[in-house]
Structure formats: C-alpha cells, structure tokens
Amino acid sequence: MMEIRNIAIIAHVDHGKTTLVDKILHTTKVFRENQDTGDLIMDNNDLERERGITIFSKNASVTYKGVKINVIDTPGHSDFGGEVERVLKMADGVLLLVDAFEGPMPQTRFVLQKALHLNLKPIVIINKVDKPNCRPDEVHDAVFELFFNLDATEEQLDFPTFYGSGKNGWFNNSLTQCEDITPLLDGIIKYVPPPTINEGALQMQITSLDYSSFLGRIAIGKVARGVINEGQNIALMQADGSIKRMKVRELYVFEGMGKRKVTEVVCGDLCAVVGLDEFNIGDTIADLENPEALPVISVDEPTMSMLFSINNSPFFGKDGKFVTSRHLRDRLMKETEKNLALRVEDTDEADSFLVYGRGILHLGILIETMRREGYELTVGQPQVLVKTIDGKKCEPYEILVVDVPSEFSGRVIDLVTQRKGEMHIMESKGEMQHLEFEIPSRGLIGLRSNMLTNTAGEAVMAHRFNEYKPWKGPIPGRNNGVLISKNQERTTGYSIDKLQDRGTFFVDPGEEVYVGQIIAEHIKPGDLIVNATEPKKLTNHRASGSDDASRIAPKTLMTLEECMEYIQQDECIEVTPKNIRMRKVILNEDDRKKVSKSMKSEMV
C-alpha cells in the first residue's frame, strides 16, 4: 500500500499559495514535458483568474519518491472562512505560507487558528525572499509570536521553516538559494504525519462537493475509518439525526489535476463518491450494519445580510435569461448546499429573499456568479446582523489592518476614527506605517474607496471578524447626495456637458437611462433630479465649430462591490448580465416624498 500525506496550503490573500501549487505540480512531473499549462493552474474559475484570488478550495494529488501527497489549495479571504474550515478536516498537516515583507496578516491568523485547533502539524514557508526590502528573520519571529499568541502546543511551536521564492521556483530550509523545491517536498514527507489508520467499521465525513452534469452530485471527503468499496451499501447519517440507506455507485481518488476511478479507498485517503443523492456537507457515510456519526462541522455565523429581489426596473428582462422569483429562489437554495456560510430566508414579499453571508466580498462573488449565469436581480444595501446579548444591543466588530506610507497615516487614522474605529497598534515597517484598529463592521462599508482616494491608492487594508460587542451608535454614511434621472431616454452629450459642474457622472452620452436611476454623484449633500436627455436645439445659423466646445469627462466606472458600499438605505442595485445600475428603490419622486413624509410623522 502506498504511503499518503494530506496537506492543506493556507495563507493570506496574494501571498503565493496557488503559485506554490503550480510548482509542486510541475516538479512532480504531473504534466508532459511539452504541455502548455499557463500559470495559476488551480484557479480554473473565470472570477478567480480575473481577481487573482482563490474562492473555492480544490484538490490535486502528486506522487513524490513513492509517496502520494494530496494537496488542498484553500481560499485566503476570511469571507470564505466556511470553505477553509471544512477542507482542513481532510488534512493532517498545513503549509503556512507567509510573505517575507508583509509578514503574518489578519487572514493568516484566522486560518492558522482553525488549523492549530484541529491539531494539524504546521510547516512554515517564508515566500518571496527575492523581493526588495524583505525581512525574513523578522517575519520568522513574528510567525513564532503568532503561534504563541494562538496557544500553540510545545510540539506545534517547534515548527520547521523553509525559505524561498515560488515565482523563481526554489525553496530551501535555509536562506541559501537552491535549484528547485525538492527540499520542501522532502520536508513534507519528513514532518507531516501519515494519516492515522483506524480499523473498524466505515466512517467518512463529506467535507466538500463537486458537480458533474454526467454523474450528478459528487461527495468528497477523507476516509476516517475502515475501507469504502465500489457497490457497497452504506448508511448516510444526516445532521438532523436521520439515517438513509444508499449505495456507492462509483469511487474516485485524486490523481494530478483530475480523478481516477478505483474499486476501493483505504483509511486516510481522500476520495470522491458518486451515487448518493440528497446529501449535505457535514453528513457521515457510515457502515450499514453499525452506523456511527462523526461530529457535525460547525461554521462561523454570517455577519451581514442583503435583500435579493427580482428586477422590477423599466429595463426588466432585456439582458437576462432567468428573471422570475422562482428562478431566483431555486438558484439561491442551490448555492446554500455547497456554500456553508450562506443562509437564505423568505420574506413577507413573494419576490424578495434575505441572504446572509460573511461579508461584502462573499455576497459580491455570489451576485457576480449569478449575473454571469444569466440572472437579473435587484440587491439592497448590505446590513450588519445585530444580536441581543445580556439584554444589550450588540453588533459585529472587526480587526482592521492598514499598511500605508508614513505621510498618509494621519489621514487613515482620521478616516477610521470618524467611523467609530479605535487604534490598538501603530508601528513602522521600513517606510510604511502598520496600523491596527478595532472597528464596527458597519464602519467598513464604503471605507475602502474613501481610503484609496485619500492615500493616492497606496493603502493596503485587510480585516477579519473579531466578536460581537455593544452597539456603537450612528456612523456617518456617504457625505454627498446623487443626481437622479428625470425621464427615460438616451443621455445626450449636450445635457451632460451642462450638468458636469453639478457632479461626477456614472453614465456616458448615448446610454439609456430611466426615471429614478442614479446617474451621478452630487457635489453637495442632498439629491437632485436632473434632465440628462435633452438634445441641443438647432438654429438656422450656427457658428462653425461651436459643437466641438463640449468637453465631457469619461464616466466613473464602479465595480459591483463599490456599488454595494456606495448605496444608501433608500437605494438599490440593478444587476443584469450586461449592466450594473444604481437606482432609488422607489423610482417615482412623488411616491418617494410620500414615504419619507410618513416615516417622519411616525418618528414624531
């Protein structure tokens, strides 16, 4: 029987996880010599490639010196924490990847805490030692301190460290450059323990799922005890205590980037099971005669909610294939099956649903994915989840870390304190200032764009959920109002030119707009209704060249996440496969006035 090592690669966003996996795949000759694979092989989803981040965890398997190494690439954003917690259950060791300049970041702490809690053997890799200003020795001390603060055991504190550069393709157990990453692969075999072999009746927890249009839903997990065979009758034990009798139709193990069909999988190996239906992540596949369940996977609670509704704008149904509330509901329910940190609730209105997630990025990725699949929908302003603890109203707080050039640090502190943030740490890292704050999650909404404007795009910020604490009171929102379209038609360069001194436009001349659509940011507080569709009146004698005098600034392009942070309570975003538009929830101005009057009288 072949020896097995199961490792998960964990790190903060952009510290080089996926590049390291590429190097492992190339070094172990997974591909033919002449095969063109490109970079970031594991990030095979379009969204992951565009954003340069890992969203979904993935498995690959390589063979080195006769040992099978199962590699799990995990996401680095805490918004995808639900994904990380599950897949760590399949590993016996973790490779903690840290940038030689930035050192351990908030998300590093988040994922490492989960790994140490599961008692996994850590190997530390200090990556990017070829970068200028890098400080590998200081970073090594900072990692040790982080382990200590997370209550690591004596054994975990005695972690092996490797240095190198994933981009240049070498890792060594000292700072001396070597030829390739074989010292690291030898280290994995030496330091990561083989999986514990438990004799007895079958037990396997489903920690991930895959879908194939040919095979249907596929359950993925690690065999924790016994052996699983093709054609075997098993008991599927669910979280609610129910037990279903099922049959394993096909079994696959991971090999290279794909899967290989087998007839049996032994204890300690990762496998994919075909033929089970109606299973959920966290269920246990057990022996039919004497079934025993493994503890259910618990995932951190969501901290943010958004209202998803059908698109009810005048441009409804122009771009999308899926536009009804039934389409929307089915798609959201399907997402909750594999996205553990997501929850969906019905509301009093038949065409609106409350969706709970871990943060703006988590919800933004879901909306962007749905949009690309051809859905049309409207989403409201993100709201944080409020809890009552010991009779007090409490809200989620986050730890915010900002690295910024020293000359901008004053502006950053000012911005964060305006939003009820408190500074805990301020220290210099070369020419950069490292600032750490505790801030209510509400204060983070809309902070990124403000901060980038105020620091000439130099600030690097990251945050992670900390805990629920008492409500901090009102936080100032957007300072400026918006310009709202008065009628439904195409905008004209003539009108936009005349209105440019009133605000910054989100639309170009010749774009179709409708009544109630937000077309620009006002330069003052308060909203303004404008006519941006008026054509130039022609006269019978025109001065030559007078039409060329209009100089229109190009429109401000806003991403979906920026729109989510920008809108206020009475506004929403219309999302279609081709367009993202901001609008007022109530499009008609008279109706808006009636509602605001009735709200004021209720408050009185």
Q: What is the pLDDT of residues 211-232, one digit of tens each?
A: 776 777 788 888 888 888 888 8
pLDDT tens per residue across span 292-310: 888 877 666 788 899 999 9
pLDDT tens per residue across span 240-293: 788 888 888 888 888 776 778 888 888 888 888 888 877 877 888 888 888 888
68 and 144 both lie in a single domain: yes
* Residue 117: partners with Cβ closer than 8 Å, 6 or more residues away: none
Give the whole-angstrom CA distance, residue 281 versus residue 278.
10
* Chain centroid, CA 40 distance in Å: 17
The amino acid occupying position 236 is: L
**77's tokens:** 């954003």
Which residues is 355 bridged to in the sheet? 306, 344
Residue pair 536/547 in contact by the 8 Å Cβ criterion: yes
Q: Confidence band (pLDDT; 50, 70, 90) for 38?
A: very low
User: For 544, how many CA atoms within 13 A lie in the half-sphere containing its CB?
Assistant: 0
The amino acid occupying position 423 is: M
* Residue 386: partners with Cβ closer than 8 Å, 6 or more residues away: 393, 394, 395, 471
At 405 the pLDDT is 87
The per-residue pLDDT of the chain, averaged, comes to 81
* Any domain includes 42: yes
157 and 46 both lie in a single domain: yes
Q: Which residue has the higher pLDDT, 309 or 361?
A: 309
Percentage above 90 pLDDT, the chain:
14
180 and 246 both lie in a single domain: no
At 117 the pLDDT is 84
Give the whole-angstrom CA distance, residue 312 versus residue 516.
12
* Any domain includes 512: no
* Chain centroid, CA 517 distance in Å: 29
Cite the annotated binding site by residue number: 14-19, 127-130
162 and 283 both lie in a single domain: no
* Residue 600: partners with Cβ closer than 8 Å, 6 or more residues away: none
Which residues is 568 bridged to in the sheet? none
96 and 236 both lie in a single domain: no
Query: At which of 256, 287, 318 does a domain end?
Result: 287
Prediction pTM value: 0.71
- Angle, helices 182-191 vs 17-27, to 10°: value is 100
187 and 214 both lie in a single domain: no
CATH number at residue 135: 3.40.50.300
78 and 207 both lie in a single domain: no
At 97 the pLDDT is 86
- Angle, helices 409-418 vs 447-454, to 10°: value is 150
Give the whole-angstrom CA distance, residue 24 versus residue 35.
16
pLDDT at 513 over 90: yes
* Any domain includes 536: no
Give the whole-angstrom CA distance, residue 8 versus residue 71.
6
Query: At which of 287, 302, 337 does a domain end?
Result: 287
Please give the tally of structural domains in the chain: 3
* Any domain includes 299: no
Please compute the mean of the pLDDT values over residues 368-389 and round it to a whole number. 90
27 and 150 both lie in a single domain: yes
Pairing relation of β-strands 3-11 and 93-99?
parallel
Q: Confidence band (pLDDT; 50, 70, 90) for 355?
A: very high
* Any domain includes 489: no
Closest CA to 72 of 9, 121, 14: 9
Torsion 270-272-276-278 (CA) sign? positive
Residues in the chain: 604
* Residue 148: partners with Cβ closer than 8 Å, 6 or more residues away: 157
When mean pLDDT is compared over 59-68, 128-137, 307-316, the highest value belongs to 307-316
Closest CA to 398 of 79, 10, 76, 55: 79
pLDDT at 482 over 50: yes
**105's tokens:** 């970041």
CATH number at residue 280: 2.40.30.10
Q: Confidence band (pLDDT; 50, 70, 90) for 574?
A: very high
81 and 107 both lie in a single domain: yes
Across the beta sheet with 482-485, what order do the strands follow? 503-505, 518-522, 482-485, 528-530
Give the whole-angstrom CA distance, residue 208 versus residue 73.
13
Cite the annotated binding site for GTP by residue number: 14-19, 127-130
At 13 the pLDDT is 62
* Any domain includes 361: no
Give the whole-angstrom CA distance, residue 245 versus residue 235.
5
In order of 18, 55, 216, 353, the CA distances from 361 in angstroms are: 20, 10, 29, 19
| Residue 218 lies in domain | 203-287
pLDDT tens per residue across span 517-551: 999 999 988 899 999 888 887 766 655 445 544 67
Query: At which of 287, 321, 356 does a domain end?
Result: 287
In order of 33, 485, 533, the CA distances from 490 in angstroms are: 56, 11, 6
131 and 219 both lie in a single domain: no
* Any domain includes 577: no
The amino acid occupying position 448 is: R
Alpha helices per DSSP H over 290-407: 325-338, 360-372
Instruction: Assign 189 to helix, strand or coil.
Output: helix
The amino acid occupying position 187 is: G
Give the whole-angstrom CA distance, residue 574 versus residue 101.
41
Alpha helices per DSSP H over 136-181: 136-149, 154-157
CATH number at residue 437: 3.30.70.240
* Any domain includes 584: no
Which residues is 4 bridged to in the sheet? 68
168 and 268 both lie in a single domain: no
224 and 142 both lie in a single domain: no
